[in-house]
Amino acid sequence: NTVNFTAYSFLHQYYEAERGWDWRNGLAGLSVAPIASSVSTIENLVKTQMQLDNVTRQQYKNSLHCVRTITEKHGPIVVYRGHVINTVREAAFISTYFFVYEGLRKRLVEERVPGSIPIAGGIAGAISWTVSFPLDCIRAGVQGTDLSRRASSLGILKKLVSERGILGLYSGVAPSIVRAFLVSGSRFSAYEGALWLLRGGRDAW
């Protein structure tokens, strides 16, 4: 998250984006995706493999042991399994995340709505998760498949749709949306608060 917010802040200025409903805010978020996915692909793979391991063989002692075990067995490149679909997921999530936040924040602050920042952040998180959730289901399918076998995003998509239908791609979305609202509201509040402490506001230098 630190990397995402730092990269977004830099790219927001680079694209000369305006605060509010400016498409360049979404572009700045979109440009962060390759940076974010370089870290989150590994993180998500380990998380998915450990969650599966907890209900099956229980062979991993911790995250580091999981990484060491799967790389010894499948090679170091395995940690980037599902990298393409995860990058697409990050692009959908982060571009929506910052675009919605910037637009709502400006509107709510101008109307002097109490709690404008956590509300805008919470709604941005909820909408972003709704948009990217099907992609996350596909990502989890790719990374959760036996690592010794090939798994394509398209193949996982076809399998999910054939077994559960289109709505199956949103299975379990409600708890994720609630969590995203709460986490994102506090995350943006902390981000804005830190900027006020460090430089008197996010647009001040």
Average pLDDT over residues 108-126: 95
pLDDT, tens only, 39-59: 999 999 999 998 887 767 778
Retrieve residue 85's tokens. Answer: 């679909």
pLDDT, tens only, 75-100: 999 999 999 999 999 999 999 999 99
pLDDT for res 108? 95
pLDDT for res 151? 86
Q: What is the pTM of this model?
A: 0.90
pLDDT tier, 201 (very low <50, low <70, confident <90, very high otherwise): low
Average pLDDT over residues 111-136: 96
pLDDT for res 202? 67
pLDDT, tens only, 139-183: 999 999 888 888 899 999 999 999 989 988 998 899 999 999 999
pLDDT for res 12? 93
* Mean pLDDT for the chain overall: 91
